[in-house]
Structures are given as C-alpha cells and as structure tokens.
Amino acid sequence: MAYWLYKSEPFKWSWQMQKDAGEKGTEWNGVRNYLARNNMRAMKIGDKGFFYHSNEGLDIVGITEVCALSHPDSTADDDPRWDCVDIRAVCDMPKPVSLKEIKANPKLHNMSLVTSMRLSVQPVTEEEWIEVCRMGGLENPPR
C-alpha cells in the first residue's frame, strides 16, 4: 500500500465534486508534469490519498482511493506522454488539516507538501499519513 496527495483548486474540482462522482470515481486528469505523471504510473488499486484544496482553503479535506490504474489521460488530445489514474472519495477528513498546521508540525517537516509545494500529485510516507490523519481526527485511518 502506498499513500499519495492530490492537489486541486476547489473552483475547478472540489472535494464535493469528487464525492459526487460516486463509487465509480473519476479520472485525475489534466496533470502535465512528468514527476506527477510518474507518481500516478506507480499507483496501485486501493492506494489511499489525501485530497488537498490548493489556492483556496489550503487544507487536506478528504481521503481518496485509486480505483483504476494509470491509463491515457482523456484530456491529452492523443498525446501519449500523459496518463492519469481514477480515484474515488472514501471519507471526509473530520477536521480539515491546514497547510499552516502541517508546516508547524515537526514530524511533517520533510513532507512533499512542505518541500515540493508545486507538485500536484505527491507521495506521502506511512508516518506522514498516520500523523495527518491523527491531526484530522481520524482514529482509524483508511489503509
């Protein structure tokens, strides 16, 4: 099992929109960064992720799950360089965890969200996963 973080501007794709996509989930498309694309190519079915509202809110607001492996991005106009995965919403974060709180937590000083702010799809270590879930009030985080 691996853990990830997906960043989205809520006015383009919000957590509520992700939840509304239902059990089928939706493509995490439109990513045009090679490292983020490679992260998606490494994902496995069932990998969990944080849903992060960027620009507005700056919070981790929910938990997602990979429900389809890497495949051609439907928004890439047949450009074979760009792939995406499908993700679905698993649960809300009981208490959204802000970027400010993450930066203030010494256990998270090496988290990609702190060190690689611009990367839209990031890896999360198991220790970071557990700590952020604790901060968000998830007693038994999805694994």
Q: Is residue 28 part of a domain?
A: yes
Q: Is residue 141 part of a domain?
A: no
Q: Is residue 142 part of a domain?
A: no
Q: Containing domain of residue 44, as a range? A: 3-136
Q: Is residue 42 part of a domain?
A: yes
Q: Is residue 11 part of a domain?
A: yes
Q: What is the DSSP track for 6-62?
A: EEE-TTTS-HHHHHHT-TT-EE------HHHHHHHHT--TT-EEEEEETTTT-EEEE
Cα–Cα distance measured from residue 119 to residue 123, given in angstroms and rounded to the nearest whole number: 10
- CATH number, domain with residue 80: 3.10.590.10
Q: Is residue 74 part of a domain?
A: yes
Q: Is residue 34 part of a domain?
A: yes
How confident is the model at residue 138, as a pLDDT?
94
Global pTM value: 0.96
Provide the domain count of the chain: 1
Residue 57 backbone phi and psi in degrees, to 5: 95, -55
71-106 tens-digit pLDDT: 999 999 989 999 999 999 999 999 999 999 999 999
The two structure tokens encoding residue 140? 């038994």
Q: Is residue 143 part of a domain?
A: no
The two structure tokens encoding residue 109? 């000083």
Q: What is the mean pLDDT of residues 43-72?
A: 97
